[in-house]
Amino acid sequence: MNKKMMQYIDILPEIQTALDNGEAVVALESTIISHGMEYPLNVQCARRCEEIIREEGAVPATIAIIKGRIKVGLTYDELEYFGTEKGIRKVSRRDLAMVVANGKDGATTVAATMIISEMAGISIFATGGIGGVHRKAQETFDISADLDELSKTSVAVVCAGAKSILDIALTLEVLETKGVPVIGYGTDDFPAFYTRASGFGVDERMNDPETVAAFLSAKWNLGINGGVVIANPIPVAAEMDEAYITAEIEKALAQSEIDGIKGKEVTPYLLKHLFGATEGKSLASNLELVYNNSRIGAKIAKAYAK
């Protein structure tokens, strides 16, 4: 990290030491804390993700912006603050410098978390699901900045595929166009967040952390910059019935149009609708897939550190 960057970033000593020693570090985003769940579940989820990463022998680095300071790793009190403070801005590439310059709080999306991870020297990032091409994007041009970030920022993103509220076919098409490898972790079928399969394939199946780590090393050592999607299916026990969740998503999308929901407000609106419609089952599945991704992310980070 150069001196100009250093003036804006605070890295917890534990994380900096791990990075200096070439040890395994896994980045975590903060949008799931401020925009994904209510307090205290949001903080409990964040802490459990960190615990799982530690259990696997890696160091967690939850990333957020607090009062204009980019935080790579949050203290106990900072995590509590972030989970309870209202009006925290959702931050992607476009917003990052504005939030820092204005001394505001910001919750990092996949794209912003990737940017900050690369600045800090963290190569592995675990999250829920990546953003993508929204349904009817041919009319709205609503395409997540995550896809563009994956094409240029060298961080591997462990996720349960793309959120099933998206157009998965078009999302994969954009990733292919941008040259982003999509790796199926133990699967030939691209997962669809709540379900283990979407009906669409992956570029390559890899069954263990060592194989993934060798691929990441080869890619980046060859100077082929850009991210990687490591699609890790939701655990079998937490998977939702495909027909059931698809029907509920269609209802939620229809209602969002009636209510005039657009842009970055669509995803939290749909997730809230699904929570009510499924009597909390969608949230339970969401939690389990995030925990699973944290676990696999730590395993890959350890293999990559070797």
Domain ranges of the chain: 1-122, 123-306
Q: Token pair of 57, please?
A: 């022998």
Q: Is 163 part of the annotated catalytic residue set?
A: yes
pLDDT of residue 67: 97
Q: Token pair of 252, please?
A: 């939620």
User: Which alpha helices (H) appear in the chain, and where do they start and end?
Assistant: 3-6, 13-20, 31, 41-55, 76-84, 93-101, 110-120, 137-140, 145-152, 168-177, 209-221, 242-258, 266-277, 281-305
Pairing of strands 89-91, 106-108: parallel
Question: Do residues 228 and 273 lie in contact, with contact meaning Cβ atoms separated by under 8 Å?
Answer: no
With a cut of 80, say whether residue 198 has pLDDT above it: yes
Q: Which one of the listed residues 50, 90, 149, 163 is annotated catalytic?
A: 163
Whether 1-122 and 123-306 share one fold: the answer is yes
Looking up tokens 């967690």 gives: 60
User: Where is average pLDDT lowest: 64-73, 139-148, 200-209?
Assistant: 139-148
The arithmetic mean of pLDDT across residues 101-120, rounded, is: 98
pLDDT of residue 35: 87
Q: Is 29 part of the annotated catalytic residue set?
A: yes
Average pLDDT for the chain: 94
With CA atoms as reference, report the closest residue to 297 among 152, 148, 145, 185. 185
pLDDT in tens, 230-239: 999 999 999 9
With a cut of 70, say whether residue 279 has pLDDT above it: yes
pLDDT in tens, 132-165: 998 776 666 788 999 999 999 999 999 999 987 8
Fold assignment, 123-306: Indigoidine synthase fold (3.40.1790)
- Please state the CATH superfamily assignment of the domain spanning residues 1-122 in this structure: Indigoidine synthase domain (3.40.1790.10)
Confidence (pTM): 0.95
Higher pLDDT, 165 or 7: 7
The arithmetic mean of pLDDT across residues 253-271, rounded, is: 80
With a cut of 70, say whether residue 253 has pLDDT above it: yes
170: number of Cβ within 10 Å: 17
With a cut of 80, say whether residue 240 has pLDDT above it: yes
144: number of Cβ within 10 Å: 25
